[in-house]
Amino acid sequence: MPALALHNGSLGLSRTPYTSGRVARCQRLARLVPAARPNWRAEVESSVDAPASPSPSPSAPSSSSAPFILPATTPTTAAEQPPPRPRDPERPFAGDSGASMSSSSSMDEGSRAEPLSLPTLDIVDLFSTSARQAQAFTVLAGSSAVLALLCAVEPEAVLELALPGADFGDLDVTFTRIIGVTLAASASVEYSLKHAAESQLLKSATYQRLMAGCALKSAGFLAVFLANLPATAGLWAAPAWMGYLVAAVGSMAVNLAVITNTSGSGLALPAVELSVPKSNASWGYAACTALYLLTVAACFAPETLFTGDPYTEVTPLVKGVWAPGFLLAAVMSWVLKDAGDRGRLGASTFKNLNLGLAALEYGYAVIFCSAMLSDQVEMYDAAALSNLVGSLGIASFALYTYTTEKK
């Protein structure tokens, strides 16, 4: 191996302050290496030819203090060069990988996310407690009482508010008053159901039948509305028909939900027991039931059969609305007939029902007399007089039972 020689001429350096310092350092290094390690050439050659020796133990003296000079290497040919190292596969840029990872994770989260759904209201669960049931029947009874008062006292205002586009007549005003007295009977039923809910007695067959009757009444309101919708669609005020539907659907939903929670067998309507009356009072209530069912049928008969007056565009609707009220009165009479068979007419629930029937029939009689005095109905017509006498008879019978029956 040629000796390492450094001198100014061979490096071709000019005498600048920088190169002068470099040359001086190289000269000192060339003089220091042979002095410190006189056999350094042989050591370098032997380290190249001999195999690698084991690393010295920690106790061996360290030679890190001695200067070390890299050996000179001879140039290699292209054939002796090692093969090129294979290139690593290209990796995406850190920002791209982060974006792709975030997008894939978001896609995974989206695929795992549950689909959106609208909140639902479980009516049956909402009215599963007696406190909620009592509150619901309190609201229904109060609403029926308020509407009864408005229809009976201010029928013209009710018609103008609900049907502003209608040209109604005196007969429609009379029928609106009749709607009011039927709602008074409905309020008495709902008031009794409220007290039964507070006492946790709604599982009784009596209250199951009354709730079924209220649900049937609400279904009748909906049927009358839909049957007359083609002829009266342009006459309704939007808030009025929306309130009508909400009240009917809400009342039916409450009664069916409470029946589901209290019947013991889900939504099962109570059986109708047809038995021969066992007392004079029971016979009287059975007759009332038949009369009320005939009245419901008459509500859908042409009015010319009774008064000779022609229909207006809203008469079928107004007359049909008080038909469900008489249907509920028929249910009330049948429940009272069953109570008469069992000698239970003195209980508070049946007293309330008798009071509701009395209010219905006395109110109907007053309205009918007013119609006769205003020439809407002929004064001495046999059918009209029999209607008035029947109404007064039912009212007096219910009031008599209310006052005489004791617990």
In a domain, 320, yes or no: yes
Q: How confident is the model at residue 248 (pLDDT cuts 50, 70, 90)?
A: very high
254 falls within a domain = yes
pLDDT digits (tens, 9 = 90+) for 130-150: 899 999 999 999 999 999 999
Residue 44 pLDDT grade (very low, low, confident, very high; cuts 50, 70, 90):
low
Exposure pattern of 299-325 as b/e (b: 16+ CB <10 Å)? Answer: beeebeeebeeeebbbbbbbbbbbbbb
For CA atoms 303, 307, 311, 312, give the dihedral sign. Answer: negative
**pLDDT for position 3:** 44
394: pLDDT strictly greater than 70: yes
Determine, yes or no, domain membership for 22. Answer: no
340 lies in some domain = yes
- Distances from the Cα of 36 to the Cα of 4, 26, 32, 366, angstroms: 15, 15, 6, 140
- What SS3 class is residue 380? coil
Query: Domain tally for the chain?
Result: 1
Mean pLDDT calculated for residue range 89-117: 51
| 42 pLDDT tier (thresholds 50, 70, 90) | low
Domain residue limits at 254: 137-404
- pLDDT at 309 (0 to 100): 63
Q: Could you tell me if residue 73 is inside a domain? A: no
Residue 29 scores a pLDDT above 60? no
Give domain status of residue 221, yes or no.
yes
Q: Is residue 265 part of a domain?
A: yes
Domain membership of residue 229 (yes or no) is: yes
Q: Give mean pLDDT, residues 87-109.
A: 51
Q: What angle do CA 318, 227, 181 make, to 5 degrees?
A: 30
pLDDT digit string (tens) for 304-353? 545 556 678 888 888 888 889 999 999 999 999 999 998 889 998 999 99
In this prediction, residue 313 carries a pLDDT of 83
